[in-house]
Chain A
Amino acid sequence: MNQLNNFTKGFIKENPVFVLLLGMCPTLGTTTSAINGLGMGLATTFVLVMGNVVISMVKNIIPAKVRIPSYIVIVASFVTMVDLSMEGFLPSLHAQLGLFIPLIVVNCIVLGRAEAFASKNTVGSSFIDGLGMGLGFSFALTLLGAVREILGSGKVFGLALFPENYAMIIFVLAPGAFIALGYIIAIMNRLAKK
């Protein structure tokens, strides 16, 4: 497969959030601000890339019947590494994301890419695939986080755009996540149809 195509498919054509609708739990739960969305996206990207690379390396020595438990152990190890590192070096972001970091283990995208792509392709392609999917996921989360932050608190990346009194609090709360995500998916589909 063409590597460039392989890399860019995660952004638009097979975007995990807007097209595949995978990983909705962190998508809806952590995107109260653009920076939280970006942090969550990059943490997932690291796990996706490392998981994909290691799984494609060991795919030929793992017996077929125990491949899923093996993949989960590999993915869970990388998630724990991210969790510990973030707690030590980015404590405020870690406090904001909280439980959602350990929950990357059960994120459909991570295991989905491992099973659907890394277990059938070379290390190089798996690396590109993980990076593309991860950055596509980060892009989606940051966009959703930015929309919710602008509408909900009048800020983007912490910079005030307009006074908070004119903001709609609902967009920072759970229902706003569904509303904003729905509209973004509708717009993405409209653009993709053209």
Chain B
Amino acid sequence: MAKESTFKNMTITLLTITLISSASLGFVYSFTKDPIADAKNAKINNAISKVLPEFDNQPTSQKTEKQVDGGVIILYPATNNGQSVGMAIQTFTKNGFGGQIDLMVGFLPNGTIHAIEVIAHKETPGLGDKMESGKSNFNVQFKGQDPKNFKLAVTKDGGNVDAITASTISSRAYCDAVERAYNAFINEGGAQ
């Protein structure tokens, strides 16, 4: 059965336990640090390669970050044989039905959208999550559109985007994020 509790043995026991725990956690952290960083990079790289035509540079090593509307937008320029093939922009919106949505939007040098991928979202399964590519055709309608003459708003708000049925809030948020990416792209001097 457990020992009698004295001030001395309680202090020593707690100190020993916390020391051993922190030492073993430090070991596990150093062991998993690289795989965690790799997994995060792989996710970003995967999203970039899905939204842009073929490229041969390392967009993640040439990224620039911009502070916009209380969040961060990350721009990844892509080139093939030294020629610009477009730019992938990691954008966000805070207006989603479940909070923040992170998207990766690929723009071609002429300013048209090549493709859009969802990086992270907390929308309702079965409704708002239809924004993910492969779950519905919602994201396909953006492909090849130039936001200059394609209004990034749902038809209910006078725009050109067909909203997901029963998920107008998610669809509006999606448009908001794409719009933010487009503005960042224009500010960078894109679409000559």
Contacts and interface: CB of A to CB of B under 8 A. Distances in A.
Contact of A85 (B10, B28, B126): B28
B49 interface: no
A87 B36 contact: yes
B21 A77 contact: yes
Contacts of B17: 58, 70, 73-74
Given A64-B5, A91-B43, A77 B25 contact: yes
A67 B2 contact: yes
A65 interface: yes
Given A62-B2, A63-B9, A88 B21 contact: no
A166 interface: no
A95 B39 CA distance: 11
Contacts of B3: 60-64
Interface string A28-70: 0000100000000000000000000000001111111111011
Main secondary structure of the interface of B (DSSP, over half): helix
Contacts of B39: 87-89, 91
Interface residues of A, number: 33
A156 interface: no
Interface string B14-38: 1001100100110011001111101
Given A60-B3, A62-B2, A63-B6, A73 B13 contact: no
A174 to B, nearest CB: 10
B51 to A, nearest CB: 19
